[in-house]
Structure 1
Amino acid sequence: MKSIANIFVSTYPFGKFDSLPLDLLDRSGLSYTINPLNRKLTSEEVSDLAKDSVGIIAGTENLQLLVNRSKNLQFISRVGIGLDSVPLRLCREKGIKVSYTPDAVTLAVSELVMGMMITLPRQVAWADRQLRRGDWTRPVGISIKSAKIGIVGLGRVGFSIAKMLTAFSPTKVYICDILDKSNEIEFLRSMGLVIEQVPLDFLLESSDIVSIHVPLTSLTRNLIKDRELDLMKKTSYLINFSRGGIVNEEMIYNRLKNFGLAGMAVDVYEKEPYKGKLRELENVVLTQHMGSCSFDCRLAMESQATEELIRFFQSKSLLNEVPEFEFENSEF
């Protein structure tokens, strides 16, 4: 092994619902420490707790301070797919290897987004709040079948959602992606989906439900701001289960408060845990960055990240090293 000591597990929860990731670490002979605070750590806390570590199994914690300060860190194994919290360019400069678990989260996130495509326009959360107050209005909303759905980003999750939509037969599905998705679209059409790749402006103007599925990079930060929101119909809904920072929080708050949009479902925020103004609004469904929070998904992410870290410290070939294009698009 390259080292047998000082592995820090910053992500939380870890090994809480299934002990396999911990068992893997125990059997590997690596010495490790688990996040002692049982919550998401701040950048400063990660830097302090992992300052002597040679490897880290990380969640969505901001690792910039740790990477900048550390003289020992050799490997980052990211539990999940998002890399906006990892300073990839700085890692490259310092010779720190980075891996992630891009395939483990796809199904769990896709399922929850599909749930929101029903919950949000059918006003399920609003009806629940009304009933608890003693009201009974039986709100009416649009169905997926009658809707035009916009998917921004046809990567792993976007493609999975599009496949799920074949069972609902929406009126039309619009796709926007920086890459040519002709092959994927042809496959989805063969499954009966009415689907077309279009520019972002057209997608926003035409869709009843818009779902965001792109990574947070220098290209996508504030992708949805006032200009883009102006294009959307006042009767349309926005879903962001991708990353905070892609949708400008202040601008979307003002739009929703003044009923410039019908509603929004959001799982991700610029600062987490979230304590912002969207909590004031009745036409917003808020969840707690829990797209990956199914038992099977958590186990897959945690065990895959652990196995990758063990491979690194056993000098074996990595299976999920972050590819070159992710470094090119990194903000820092």
Structure 2
Amino acid sequence: MKRKIVVYKALPADVLSYLTERAEVAEVDGKNRDALVAALKDADGAIGASIRISPDMLEGATRLKALSTISVGFDNFDVDDLTRRGIVLTHTPDVLTESTADTVFALILASARRVVEMAEWVKAGNWKASIGEACFGVDVQGKTLGIVGLGRIGGAVARRAALGFRMNVLYTNRHPNAQAENEFGARRVELDELLAKSDFVCLQVPLTPETHGMIGAAQLKTMKRSAILINASRGPTVDEAALIEALRNGTILGAGLDVFEQEPLAADSPLLSMKNVVALPHIGSATHETRHAMSRNAAENLIGALDGTLAGNIVNPQAVKR
């Protein structure tokens, strides 16, 4: 029996061809829950992104051996449940590192220099004379950047900061990052010290029970009043209500956000009316080149997992043993 793969997100033509050469492929609209559940029941593997795959959706999917997400994050899956079922979950942690770090640094620069606000101000016809202090931003070069979570993306941000902008880099991480310390002068500190000393606080952590809401009212009050919060990790790592209050009352200077508690961001969100907020539609890795590379990597991950040859990019290696 030829193995079957369910594709629940549109793929580039060459990536789809790669899969069809190796399996029977069924394309399903991932937003059609019933159709997706039905397709999974006789599938050996599935590939997609941005759709929550809950345990109940896998009941009866007895042939399913592997799921491949076209993302580095995997909070759309119950990993423990997949492991119990012996279903391997793969992700794409490497290919999006540089483009996502570019987005993070774009948020730092845009927030510090008020790029979006000033561009809209010019387009509105308000530029009548030389600008004054009302249009000033703050420097980035030479400032202190605190990175919460110095993994692949955090390390790429640290490289840009230290080598490109002569920034002092502080970081928190479960383990020391010797490369960042040796090459970029990064210094590992506790979270409270990072928050108190950083001019820019950048979150680069996965969404886990431990990181959910890790930046709340108390943490925001620990930050400098001149500090800017950057979040391009996962929205729920920040208590959004507390952030809105902190931005309103001047507890911190501003925020650059690519992720939110609920996505898409609600049209009536106070964040959209705040001049000290740069809000992006979760574009971290959204370049033509990187998204294509992610799709290809995810497809290769899936085939490797089904063949039993995949050595990396496995979220739950315990499932391989099962």
Structures share fold, TM-score greater than 0.5 = yes
Does the 8 Å contact 2:200/2:228 carry over to 1? yes
Where do 4+ consecutive residues of structure 1 move more than 4 Å? 42-52, 65-68, 323-326
> Per the alignment, do residues 146 and 163 of structure 1 end up closer, same or farther by CA in structure 2, a change over 3 Å counting?
closer
Supply the distance in 2 between the matched residues of 1:325 and 1:244 (Cα, whole angstroms): 28
Please state how far the C-alpha of 1:99 moved relative to its aligned partner: 0.9
- Give the match for residue 57 of structure 1: 47
Deviates more, 1:58-67 or 1:244-253: 58-67
**Structure 2, unpaired ranges of 5+:** none
Query: Which amino acid counterpart does residue 63 of structure 1 have in structure 2?
Result: I
Query: Which amino acid counterpart does residue 32 of structure 1 have in structure 2?
Result: A
- Give the match for residue 330 of structure 1: none
- Give the match for residue 241 of structure 2: 250
- Give the match for residue 192 of structure 1: none
RMSD value, Cα? 2.4
**Structure 1, unpaired ranges of 5+:** 190-194, 327-332
- Give the match for residue 14 of structure 1: 11
Give 1:178-189 correspondences, 5 Å limit: 178-189=174-185
Does the 8 Å contact 1:67/1:91 carry over to 2? no
> Per the alignment, do residues 171 and 76 of structure 1 end up closer, same or farther by CA in structure 2, a change over 3 Å counting?
closer
Please state how far the C-alpha of 1:186 moved relative to its aligned partner: 1.5
Query: Which amino acid counterpart does residue 8 of structure 2 have in structure 1?
Result: S
* Aligned length, in residue pairs: 311
Supply the distance in 2 between the matched residues of 1:201 and 1:111 (Cα, whole angstroms): 26
- Give the match for residue 173 of structure 2: 177
- Give the match for residue 27 of structure 1: 21
Identity of aligned residues (%): 27
Give 1:207-286 correspondences, 5 Å limit: 207-275=198-266, 276-286=269-279
* 1:320 and 2:313 are equivalent in the alignment: yes
Structure 2 SS opposite 1:167 = helix
Query: Which amino acid counterpart does residue 218 of structure 2 have in structure 1?
Result: R
Please state how far the C-alpha of 1:205 moved relative to its aligned partner: 0.8
* 1:105 and 2:96 are equivalent in the alignment: yes
Please state how far the C-alpha of 1:296 moved relative to its aligned partner: 1.6
> Per the alignment, do residues 70 and 61 of structure 1 end up closer, same or farther by CA in structure 2, a change over 3 Å counting?
farther
Supply the distance in 2 between the matched residues of 1:171 and 1:293 (Cα, whole angstroms): 26
Does the 8 Å contact 2:199/2:228 carry over to 1? yes
Q: Among 278, 290, 295, which residue is 1:302 paired with?
A: 295
Q: Among 203, 227, 232, which residue is 2:194 paired with?
A: 203
Does the 8 Å contact 1:208/1:233 carry over to 2? yes
Structure 2 SS opposite 1:28 = coil
Question: For residues 82-127 of structure 1, what are the alpha-carbon distances to aligned partners after superposition, in whole Å with 9 as ceiling and x for unaligned?
Answer: 1111110010111111111110110110011111111111000110
Deviates more, 1:275-284 or 1:214-223: 275-284
Deviates more, 1:54-63 or 1:158-167: 54-63
Does the 8 Å contact 1:43/1:62 carry over to 2? no
Structure 2 SS opposite 1:145 = coil
Query: Which amino acid counterpart does residue 11 of structure 2 have in structure 1?
Result: F
Does the 8 Å contact 2:7/2:25 carry over to 1? no
Does the 8 Å contact 1:149/1:170 carry over to 2? no
Structure 2 SS opposite 1:321 = coil
Does the 8 Å contact 1:42/1:61 carry over to 2? no
Supply the distance in 2 between the matched residues of 1:240 and 1:255 (Cα, whole angstroms): 15
Query: Normalized against structure 2, the TM-score is what?
Result: 0.88
Please state how far the C-alpha of 1:314 moved relative to its aligned partner: 3.6
